Structure 1
């Protein structure tokens, strides 16, 4: 039986509930109530900067904010000293270093690993006085990471995942940065101009090829002792996050990032483990890339060329590949297919069922390069170990298509006067930030390095146009 006291308390509780409920207006509705969702709501006291527009996954990615083309954004990352130590230990355990790692870390005598998955740790990410919480951050890169680390250069590339730790922090489920789940902060390794990553991605898109969006930022990292300037970085869009949805009519197809011998598609190299799936990972179906490998190496090529071409064109976007090959060869991007077995994606586009080539990682472009240098325009030196090039350019129809795209690229995209103006604008935009880079946090040894890097790019665009013109006259 209820006592009089308990009845009174119950009445007061009900009255209070009804009073405040009747006084609440639409502005006081929680995000869940407004959307009709019963998902857990982010705690406004613990995460005061959270808003639907800036943090949720219910908005369209805002390219204007994340990838502005005429500003250098400031980005701050704060990592606890303990987590920074974990990241350094992870590098030391996986990358050998003759002179010690960045920040005086150890590394001597450790095994050298050309490719490994660095550890994720949580960080605080701040942009425009707004914080994103418990964001996943890790180092990224293969040879660029190893080379910078071994030389004691602290300017390493980072990958960000805004909901990497959502299982640990359920209130932050599906956190986004203006609609983006992942972003790359590339350090412009071995690029004194600081422009190559951005300019090349833009050139590919201007030529009608799928390519990540990019922008510049000034990165500051706080490892427990206050923010330190890490220099000019290029923000690069993640292909399996938003590129597919923004540049294809259907982003549900298989996306692969080949890496290793199998990425050459040469005879005897096929290995599904080196065809890393970035979408539909739970479905172990590699039939599309296996079909490309089988067809490209089929004996039909030598005894029934028309059938072989038809089969190839039923699985590979040949036109798109030849278009990429022409642009890539003109700009001299050596660190990719034809020289190196990495730095591209293949996307099985549901719109036509064809594997489409998507270029990636362009910081080594716009120069003759290393490791034997960039391919010649004729590609006479390319052997059967790169069949997607050598077998296709051997066919007159495809070689003519390639030559057509060479001419189109220099006439419509890679125009010296226009590209030089782009270089001048970026020089003005980046100059102060480049000059402010510090020793051990830069690939520049002096301000003059940056100036000369820009001038080299200006000379390069003219020389490559001249080279294509001469080649097409032959």
Structure 2
């Protein structure tokens, strides 16, 4: 009897322990789903307190540069902070930046690095792919870092990034920004193992209608959305396509709250509008964003800010250059009506009074807690001090070190004046729509002292040719 009782007690204790473990695992799983999964690469390459080193060993670097337009991967050995990774895929990347780098006979391309391109299980501490951003038309080297920090501050899932000094075949190549690509590892890090699907919609030709890139509902057929589904960044099945199409249908009917994670997307648009990035969903191109769908609802996540802060002119027949116009650009109509009406993820949200009010209310803590708290200035000073020695010796830089310093000061002025303008728009002192601006011309902050060309312009591309070709020749001669 005693033995049976003891056995019963042991069984009961075992059951209790099992239930406790199950409960703990359940809690852990819910936390992982809510907060994402810690990834090993976060504290390695993406430790942003220092400049990392990336050494690329490759058979023919000149061929990669000459054939950059083909965007074809070639193998290399990559040493990241003294860790060696073999059979890594590398290629040039970009849209207009890729084309213009070639047209100006330059050699400094942004690069895509894929650890599992040749080796199915290849990865960098759990990361399958990253980009090396060349800071094309960004003399400050800070636009993406700053925009990403603003997004992160506002609670938007954002790629990790850090600076890296890149060498090719033993020769210095320059200071690049390493950026976490938004694929499987990014999805797990931000949304947990049981995440939804990531897409990076992009156009095949800017002359096409590109309704799917604009997230407009077309019909029920997945084949009508090639610019979305052909750019899935995580595994996708037919049911995923159906859910996304249904979300677009609901969005087109004004069923916003059932189709969109409204709070998160509004936070994204607060920063997107602040940084005046028109090479984006809110601009003529309509691309350069990451789309995330989970359980039939959509998120918009940040990507590509080298042409932000009012410096986008590519693709515009008559680009606006007046800093008074750009820095005072209205927050309620951040693009012309012909564009806004074709951007339902912004337009439909702003048609809802409660969501429009929430959008306005989110600006206030952003302006106060990000800028007035000193975070902005501290970040600017910290990053400038970190990269200054590397910018000085960058052999393929698009600008001189003096031009870089001017760009950092200009970026500071742009953000300060943009903050003043938006504060005035929120308070009703300055026009917040294009129609109001037409009725009140010249009303807004005075930004005439700012020359936005200092942030990066076409003259910089012309002046960089000799410097970049000389760096390329050193690598070629070293072989």
Shorter-chain TM-score above 0.5: yes
Alpha-carbon contact 1:124-1:135 (below 8 Å) kept = yes
| Equivalent residue, structure 2, for 1:265 | 215
Secondary structure of the residue that 1:430 maps to in structure 2?
helix
- In structure 2, how many angstroms separate the alpha carbons of the residues matched to 1:187 and 1:467? 31
| Equivalent residue, structure 1, for 2:90 | 137
> Which of these residues, 368, 373, 377, is aligned with residue 411 of structure 1?
368
Structure-to-structure mapping, 1:389-408, within 5 angstroms: 389-408=346-365
- In structure 2, how many angstroms separate the alpha carbons of the residues matched to 1:290 and 1:230? 44
Alpha-carbon contact 2:201-2:213 (below 8 Å) kept = yes
CA RMSD of aligned residues (A): 2.3
> Which of these residues, 358, 361, 365, is aligned with residue 304 of structure 2?
361
> Which of these residues, 403, 411, 419, is aligned with residue 465 of structure 1?
419
* Unaligned 5+ runs, structure 1: 1-58, 95-117, 167-172, 299-307
Q: Work out whether 1:291 is the aligned partner of 2:234.
A: no
Alpha-carbon contact 1:67-1:213 (below 8 Å) kept = yes
Alpha-carbon contact 2:184-2:233 (below 8 Å) kept = no
1:265/1:432 CA distance change after superposition, 3 Å: same
Secondary structure of the residue that 2:140 maps to in structure 1?
coil
Secondary structure of the residue that 1:239 maps to in structure 2?
coil
> Which of these residues, 42, 45, 67, is aligned with residue 63 of structure 1?
42
State the 1:368 CA deviation: 5.2
Q: Work out whether 1:456 is the aligned partner of 2:410.
A: yes
Q: For 1:95-120, what per-residue CA distance to the aligned partner results, in whole angstroms no more than 9, with x for missing partners? A: xxxxxxxxxxxxxxxxxxxxxxx111
State the 1:336 CA deviation: 0.8
Structure-to-structure mapping, 1:113-132, within 5 angstroms: 118-132=71-85
> Which of these residues, 179, 183, 189, is aligned with residue 240 of structure 1?
183
Secondary structure of the residue that 1:234 maps to in structure 2?
strand
When the two structures are superposed, what TM-score results if normalisation uses the length of structure 1? 0.72
1:315/1:390 CA distance change after superposition, 3 Å: closer
> Which of these residues, 42, 45, 57, is aligned with residue 78 of structure 1?
57
State the 1:421 CA deviation: 2.2
- In structure 1, how many angstroms separate the alpha carbons of the residues matched to 2:134 and 2:227? 26
Structure-to-structure mapping, 1:336-351, within 5 angstroms: 336-339=280-283, 340-350=285-295
When the two structures are superposed, what TM-score results if normalisation uses the length of structure 2? 0.71
- In structure 2, how many angstroms separate the alpha carbons of the residues matched to 1:259 and 1:215? 25
| Equivalent residue, structure 1, for 2:117 | 164
Q: Work out whether 1:422 is the aligned partner of 2:379.
A: yes
Aligned length: 364
State the 1:284 CA deviation: 7.0
- In structure 1, how many angstroms separate the alpha carbons of the residues matched to 2:244 and 2:237? 16
| Higher helix fraction (1 or 2) | 2
Alpha-carbon contact 1:122-1:134 (below 8 Å) kept = yes
1:267/1:314 CA distance change after superposition, 3 Å: closer
Q: For 1:57-105, what per-residue CA distance to the aligned partner results, in whole angstroms no more than 9, with x for missing partners? A: xx94231111112211111111102xx455345336x5xxxxxxxxxxx
State the 1:127 CA deviation: 2.2
State the 1:407 CA deviation: 1.3
* Unaligned 5+ runs, structure 2: 1-37, 204-209, 321-325, 429-479
- In structure 2, how many angstroms separate the alpha carbons of the residues matched to 1:322 and 1:185? 29
1:179/1:279 CA distance change after superposition, 3 Å: closer
- In structure 1, how many angstroms separate the alpha carbons of the residues matched to 2:187 and 2:262? 19
- In structure 1, how many angstroms separate the alpha carbons of the residues matched to 2:109 and 2:311? 24
- In structure 2, how many angstroms separate the alpha carbons of the residues matched to 1:235 and 1:147? 21
- In structure 2, how many angstroms separate the alpha carbons of the residues matched to 1:202 and 1:177? 23
Alpha-carbon contact 2:201-2:290 (below 8 Å) kept = yes
Alpha-carbon contact 1:163-1:181 (below 8 Å) kept = yes
Q: Work out whether 1:91 is the aligned partner of 2:62.
A: no
Q: For 1:211-260, what per-residue CA distance to the aligned partner results, in whole angstroms no more than 9, with x for missing partners? A: 101000111112xxxx2322110000111132211111345312121113
Secondary structure of the residue that 1:233 maps to in structure 2?
strand
- In structure 2, how many angstroms separate the alpha carbons of the residues matched to 1:363 and 1:161? 22
Alpha-carbon contact 1:123-1:136 (below 8 Å) kept = yes
- In structure 2, how many angstroms separate the alpha carbons of the residues matched to 1:363 and 1:414? 21
Structure-to-structure mapping, 1:303-322, within 5 angstroms: 308=254, 311-322=255-266
State the 1:282 CA deviation: 5.2
